[in-house]
Amino acid sequence: MSQSRQFKVFPIDGSAQSIREIEAPSHFSEIVRPDLIMRAYNAAMRNRMQPHGTDPRAGQRSSAKFCGLRKGWGHSYSYGQSRIPRLMISGGRRVGEARIVPQAVGGRRAHPPEAIHVPHEKINDKEKLKAIRSAIAATASAKFVKERGHATEGITQFPLVVESAFAGITKSKKAIEVLEKLGCSADLERASGRTRRHGKGKLRGRPYKTKKSILVVVGSSGAPVSRAVRNLPGVDVARVNQLNAKLLAPGGNPGRLTVWTEDAIAQLKGLYNTG
C-alpha cells in the first residue's frame, strides 16, 4: 500500500474552492487490476441472465416415421425421395410430407438452446471484493479516467468529493449547476448524444445506445439526489454499500468518472475489506 492521500471537499453553493480536506480510505491506494475487474464484471452480467430454451419435444410431436429402404408400405426406395421421416397416412394431400428433421417444415431445430444449461458464473468472494476495491482505486486515477473516454477538461481532482448536503438536492437544475461547477459539463455534453443501434436490438425495444457518464456515490441510507439526476443521460446513482464492478467499470473498463459525497467516503472505510 502506498501513502494515504488527501481529498479536497467541494461545496454545493457554486464555489470552485474546496472547504476542507479529508483522508482517503485505503481503497483508493489499491493496485488496479483490469483483469480482475473484467472477471467480476462478466460474472455480474452472466448472473443477470435467465435460463431459456425450447421444449425438448418441440418439433417431434408427429406420427411421421422412416419406413426403411425396400420393405413395408410407404418406403422411399427408387422413388427419388430423400430418406427422412414422412407422414404415413392413407390418401389426402399430406401423404409423404416430411416431418421431425430440421430441414422440414414444422420440424425440430438443429441446435436449439437447452433449458438445462445454467449460464451463471461463480466468483470467489475475496476476488469480488478485490475487484471492487481495484475499481474504486481506478476512479482516483486520471490515467484510467481519460483512457475510458471521459471528458476531463476542467476537473482538478479524481475522484470528485462534495459535501454531504449534495445528497439532499431534489431539483435537477440545482444538481446540474453543482456538477458544472465541479467541471463535469464537458462529460455531460459528451453523453447527451445517443446513437441508433443496428440489428435485433431495435426489435427488442432498445433502439438507442447512450454513453455512460458520471457515477454519484451517496451514503448507505440513500438520497433524494437520485431523483434529481435520473433524467441526465448516462448518470447513475449508487449507495456506497451497493457498489459493484458493473457500476464502477461499465463494460469491464475501469476508470469511471465518479462523484463521492463526504459521508460516502467516511462509510467506505468499513466496506469491501478482504480481511
| Structure confidence by residue, pLDDT tens digits, 54-70 | 888 999 999 898 887 77
Q: Do residues 114 and 154 both lie within one domain? A: no
| Structure confidence by residue, pLDDT tens digits, 197-237 | 989 999 999 999 999 999 999 999 888 999 999 999 999 99
The CA–CA distances, whole Å, from 2 to 15, 132, 137, 262 equal 31, 18, 12, 22
Alpha carbon 179 to its chain centroid, in Å, reads: 24
Residue 274 lies in a domain: no
For 85, residues 6+ apart whose C-beta sits below 8 A from its C-beta are 62, 64, 65, 66, 98, 99, 100, 101
What is the tally of structural domains in the chain? Answer: 2
| Structure confidence by residue, pLDDT tens digits, 103-149 | 999 899 999 988 887 788 999 999 999 999 999 999 999 999 999 99
Per-residue confidence band for 167, with pLDDT thresholds at 50, 70 and 90: very high
Choose the final residue of a domain: 89, 118, 147. Answer: 118
pLDDT at 1 over 50: no
Q: Do residues 67 and 146 both lie within one domain? A: no
Choose the final residue of a domain: 92, 118, 144. Answer: 118
Cα–Cα distance for residue pair 145/248, rounded to 1 Å: 11
CATH number at residue 30: 3.40.1370.10
Q: Do residues 65 and 137 both lie within one domain? A: no
Q: Do residues 65 and 11 both lie within one domain? A: no
Task: Categorise residue 2: left if φ over 0, alpha if ψ from -120 to 50, beta otherwise.
Answer: beta
Q: What is the pTM of this model?
A: 0.82
Choose the final residue of a domain: 63, 90, 118. Answer: 118
Closest by alpha carbon to 131, among 4, 246, 259? 246
Residue 1 lies in a domain: no
Query: Using DSSP, how many helices (H) and how many strands (E) does the chain show?
Result: 8, 8
pLDDT score, position 72: 67
Cα–Cα distance for residue pair 34/247, rounded to 1 Å: 15
* Cα four-point dihedral sign 173, 206, 255, 44: positive
What SS3 state is found at 248?
helix
Domain range for 114: 50-118
